Amino acid sequence: MTGLEARDTELKKELNATLRARRELGEEYESALVDSFLEKVDQRIDGAVERQLRRQLAEQQMVVARGSRSPQPTDSWGERFGFGIVSLVLAVPLSAIGGGVADLPGLLVAWAGIVGVNVVQATRTNPGLFGRRRRKSSKDSDWEE
């Protein structure tokens, strides 16, 4: 079992425990239980972001130490695919929690956050993806980024 699968299993266990506690304690504790679960998800996300930032900083420092001008992009298709899968896996509990706590507005906020994170990731890996395009000249029909 890889580290990602182990973390997903742990998160599923946490969600199941939260749901069982909600059934046992009743609706009056729902907000506290959801807050507790979201705090654990936030901690997981923060840890993953911190590890990624440390890795990128170390790579940049190695490139600078070797005398290269700029770091080469390290995002592979596998990384992008993995990010998409993790995003969808986390979307399920976030959607359930957002929809369960605040109905449609909660669901919309959860999905706005999911879409926002994916847009940031897409622009990071493809800097010109959402850039404005303009014509080179009035005579030339080629597009330039």
Tens of pLDDT, residue by residue over 52-98, are: 989 988 888 888 887 755 545 556 777 888 888 888 888 888 888 98
Contact 33, 14 (CB under 8 A): no
In this structure, the answer to whether residues 28 and 92 fall within a common structural domain is no
Domain coverage including residue 100: 75-127
Model confidence at 143: pLDDT above 70: no
How many separate domains does the chain show? 2
In this structure, the answer to whether residues 115 and 49 fall within a common structural domain is no
Residue 119 placed within a domain: yes
